[in-house]
Amino acid sequence: MSNPISHAFKKAKSENRPALLTYTVAGDSTKKQSLEILKSISKKVDILEIGVPHNTPVADGSQIQTSSYRAIKNGVKINDIFKIVKDFKKFDKNKPVILMGYYNMIFQYGENEFLRKCKISGVNGLIVVDLPWPENKKFASKCKNRSIFFIQLLSPTTTKNRLKKIIKDSHEMIYFISMLSTTGGKLKVSSKEILSNYDKIKKVNSKKNVVIGFGITEKTIKSLKKADGLVVGSAICREITNSIKKRQNPVTNVYNVVNRLKKKIK
């Protein structure tokens, strides 16, 4: 399966560093500014994760909820998100884009039509938080047939037996949730413990690219740099919120945060 996500990991490994993944909410704080942020950080980021704003998020902490609220308040719909992705791909067609959201939006849209729009707009991967394995096997297969990665989630409480089965069925990228919590602005467990769980996953299949997310900040990212990839979301959403409060430009400030993150994992 040829997918830009695979190329992004290969490039990062050739530079002896983890891939940097950022998470921003589509349409935050406006559709135009959301696109500008993606463009501004594109050169510093290996993979862009774009959140679909949802009014009842089960995995998102307060910072991402605030971003989602702004986007929803501005009237962002799923077709607007596809347009943001499509417009971004006109700017940087090779940069991998992952959409993260919830299954009801896919169900309401229709699985096949949703995937058709993903393909047209340039989406390379999907994280569907509330569609766990094995219930996601049929949909994941549909994704694979369209060369779109369906990214399985693992957590610290995933049993050994279940972990092996999920990894066996997974595409090339796996998302390890660092702690038993929603997303947030800080780690609630030690980096040592997170990496211990990460190693257990890699021992099952070292060829899968495993990214760690939830709670990673500028202060902690360096301690986790042995991972294949690291996801930073809440810290970026918080920067957007702070920029708005201070009447500063979120595009510039988010770029500065991402630039500092990248320097810490080089």
Which residues participate in catalysis according to the annotation? 49, 60
DSSP assignment letter at 146:
T
Residues 63 and 104: beta-carbon distance below 8 Å: no
Q: Nearest Cα to 88, choosing from 149, 31, 9, 10?
A: 31
CA 106, CA 189: separation in Å to the nearest integer? Answer: 33
How far apart are the C-alpha atoms of 201 and 174, rounded to whole Å? 9
Gap between the Cα atoms of 131 and 6, Å rounded = 23
- Is the CB of residue 47 less than 8 Å from the CB of residue 21? yes
Long-range contact list for 134-143, CB < 8 A, 24+ apart?
A: 134/165, 134/169, 137/169, 139/106, 139/111, 140/169, 140/171, 142/111, 142/112, 142/115, 143/115, 143/171
In angstroms, the Cα distances linking 233 to 100, 192, 261 are 12, 21, 12
Integer Cα distance of 208 and 167 in angstroms = 8
What distances in angstroms separate CA 162 from CA 133, 153, 167, 168, 255, one per listed residue? 9, 11, 9, 10, 39
Q: Which two tokens stand for residue 113?
A: 């039509």
Rg (CA), the chain: 17
